[in-house]
Chains A and B, each alone.
Chain A
Amino acid sequence: EAQVTQNPRYLITVTGKKLTVTCSQNMNHEYMSWYRQDPGLGLRQIYYSMNVEVTDKGDVPEGYKVSRKEKRNFPLILESPSPNQTSLYFCASSSHNEQFFGPGTRLTVL
C-alpha cells in the first residue's frame, strides 16, 4: 500500500530536549516536505527536499533541521524544542500534482 508514515504519532516533551520525528514514504517520490498546522494559521511549510541531499527552507524553518540521506526518509529534527513548537506536524511526499500526507505527529513541548 502506497503510504507516508510518521513516528511518533504523539509526543510530550520538555523544553530543550532534542527530538526527531521520522518520516518515510514507499512511493519512490523525489519531493518531500514538512508542515506544521496551527489553529487559524493553516498548514505552513517548514522544510522541503527535492531529492537526496537536496533540502531547502520553507516558510517557517527556525528551530528545525532536516536531512535527506535516502530517498524514502526525511526526518525532522528539533535540536532544542521550545513551547512555541507545540503543534501538529505533517510530512508529505509528492508526485507531480498530488501530495500524500502522513498521519501527523502531535507534539507538545512543556
Chain B
Amino acid sequence: GQNIDQPTEMTATEGAIVQINCTYQTSGFNGLFWYQQHAGEAPTFLSYNVLDGLEEKGRFSSFLSRSKGYSYLLLKELQMKDSASYLCAVRESGSARQLTFGSGTQLTVLP
C-alpha cells in the first residue's frame, strides 16, 4: 500500500514562486506524477519523475528524492490561472500502471 501526503491549501502572490511538497511511503516505487486540476475540470498531466533530480518544463519544475520519499512541484512567475488543485500521484512497481493519488493541494494565487 501507499501513503501520500501533501498540504491541503497554499496561497501565493501573482509573480511569485511557490513550492508544493509531497511525501510518500511505498513498498516499491516506479514513478511520481504531478497533475493540475482546475475546479470542475479533469486533471491534466504536468510532470513525471522516476529518477532523482529536477525536471524542468517551462514555468513548472518537479523534483524527486527517492531515498527521502519526497517530491516537490515548483511554480515560477505565478499567474492567476495557476490557481488550481495540484495532485501528487505515485506508481508502485509491479502495479500494472496503477496510480495512487494524494488528496491534492489547493493553490490560490492572489493579485
In the complex, A65 has a CB within 8 A of chain B: no
- Residue contact B43 to A90, C-beta cutoff 8 Å: yes
Q: How many residues of B contact A (CB 8 A)?
A: 21
Collect the chain B residues with CB atoms within 8 Å of residue A90's CB.
42-43
Instruction: State how many angstroms separate the Cβ of B23 from the closest Cβ of chain A.
Output: 15
- Residue contact B41 to A56, C-beta cutoff 8 Å: no
In the complex, B99 has a CB within 8 A of chain A: yes
Mark each residue of chain A from 69 to 92: 1 if its CB lies under 8 Å from any CB of chain B, else 0.
000000000000000000000100
- Interface residue from B31, B42, B96, B99 paired with A50 (Cβ < 8 Å): B96
- Residue contact A99 to B103, C-beta cutoff 8 Å: no
Query: Bound complex: CA of A100 vs CA of B33, how far in Å?
Result: 13
Collect the chain B residues with CB atoms within 8 Å of residue A44's CB.
101
Collect the chain B residues with CB atoms within 8 Å of residue A50's CB.
96-97
Give me 26 A-to-B residue pairs in the complex whose CB atoms sit less than 8 angstroms apart, sorted by A's number. Answer: A31-B97, A35-B101, A40-B103, A41-B103, A42-B103, A42-B104, A43-B43, A43-B89, A44-B101, A45-B98, A45-B100, A48-B96, A48-B97, A50-B97, A59-B100, A94-B97, A97-B48, A98-B48, A99-B33, A99-B35, A100-B45, A101-B42, A102-B42, A103-B41, A104-B41, A104-B42
B: residues with CB less than 8 A from A are 31, 33, 35, 40-45, 48, 87, 89, 96-104
A: residues with CB less than 8 A from B are 31, 33, 35, 40-45, 48, 50, 56, 58-59, 90, 94, 97-104
